[in-house]
Structure 1
Amino acid sequence: MPSPKLDQVVLSDEERSVLSGWARRRKTSQALALRSRIVLRCAQGGTIGEVAQDVGVSRNTVSKWRSRFISHRLDGLSDEPRPGRPRTVSDEQVEQVITKTLEEAPGKDTHWSTRSMAQATGMSQSAISRIWRAFGLKPHAVETWKLSTDPQFVDKVRDVVGLYMNPPENALVLAVDEKSQMQAIDRTAPSLPIMPTTPERMTHDYVRHGTTSLFAAFDVASGSVIAQHYRRHRHQEFLRFLKLIDAAVPKELDLHLVLDNYATHKTPEVKKWLIRHPRFHLHFTPTSASWMNLVERWFAELTSRKLRRSAHRSVVELEADVRAWINEWNTSPKPFTWTKDADEILETLAAYCQRINDSRH
């Protein structure tokens, strides 16, 4: 049977101009540009097969958009609304949830839950959860921080940051601290290895086998570490560690040590020893500002990569395992780059203080 005769596609001047613009403009979506080219080619005449071959699409695609244009003209080239459940949460409801989360407290509770917010707004818990996820709101989460009250805070920040970002010539900058009370612990049952779809599993309880302290000096420039275990962390052990640093570093280099304000770093015995060894220069971080000591970042690596998931049946075993890990670290050390200068840090803390003053709590 012969194919039915197709209705001719006739364009007005305005339609031809709009379609030509859609087909040429770079910002037009590729789908709309293709549909515009199909209609423009159909208006030139010819069969559906000829149009499909010229445009580079299937016959069904040409037939679909040809028919849509004839029935609805330019509006027919837009995508039709997709099937599915209509939206049930309005913009006003979303705004209400966000405002309540940020500006109000849920009665006597300290923070909102999906249940309490759902009751307060008349919405479902799943809707509240979706809104919070979309806007990155986590009322259940809290982060802690501490503001230093050191009267010399500004001077100490500039001193330590200056060492990190502009170290003196012919000198070594070492971030020094003790990781005290490192526990040799063993799980009460053997750990189960990782398997497909199943993580490694270990018992939550453990047996303690003693503690040790790790004294470490992190070379800010190279990332290498001088470290030594001691069973205690008194000023006597700190002096022994200073002597170890003195022996390990070439005598022609000055030594600038970044330290916290722990009492063992400032005893009369330590001060006398420093007078006799003038190449040592101590720089103290502000009180309650351990985040300024880069060796703490290295301690975090040690904890996450070695200590957290290991088991040891004695302090000697723990010390040997940590020593092996440090030796491996020093074969390919990784320095941590300090990026914020003193002014940026002080500006950030000033903004925190302003927020505290403006807070209702």
Structure 2
Amino acid sequence: MSEAMTPALINQHIGADDQAQRPGLWIRLRIMVLCRHDIASRQIARFLGCHVQTVRTWGARFAHQESIRDRARPGAKPVFGEEISQKIIAFFCQFETLPGYARWTLSTACQYFQENPDYLGSDITISRASVQRLLNAHALKPHRYRYFLQLSDADFFPKMEHIIEVYATVPKNLYCFDECTGIQALETVAPALPVAPKRPEYREVEYIRHGAISV
């Protein structure tokens, strides 16, 4: 039975999680549709700009009702066992950083492992790339951080409700200031030139300093 490249067919074989593989999957999907129209392999290869053996390989797989995705592979045997992996994960999550560093990086972690061989084992040598792969596998990003606020003010929630009420019923003249430190008091030495057709406003680059203030 012939089949067309309809949106339903595309969604059936190429999902939202296949973004990284989309170019290859698109080629395979086109091969599948053209093969089902009994078009010669060489013509398909010439039309899609791929090797004829690619068309024959995937055409044979489609004939056996196989998916357009790659077959499952066993993968390489892990270089490090589960115990070593858990130690590395615990290291990034629990160990304090080296003096002078704000957080662990791949380089400083590998430096620590080299200088303290007893942590992973004296016979264990791990590369920066191996540490990165392990962190990626567990969705750990020690180089990133976010701020949080510890609630230590007993009146936090009454204050919060008052501020929310101000935002909900904004008066006509409301000015909100954050902490501003070191604001320079500057005086221009010449007035600005007004806007003209095809010309923006011009401002004098020189100025006179009158110190700084804090708000």
Report the TM-score, using the length of structure 2 for normalisation: 0.45
Bigger share in strand: 1
Larger Rg: 1
Q: Comparing both structures, which one devotes a greater share of its residues to helix? A: 1
**Which structure has more RCO (C-alpha within 8 Å, separation ≥ 6)?**
1
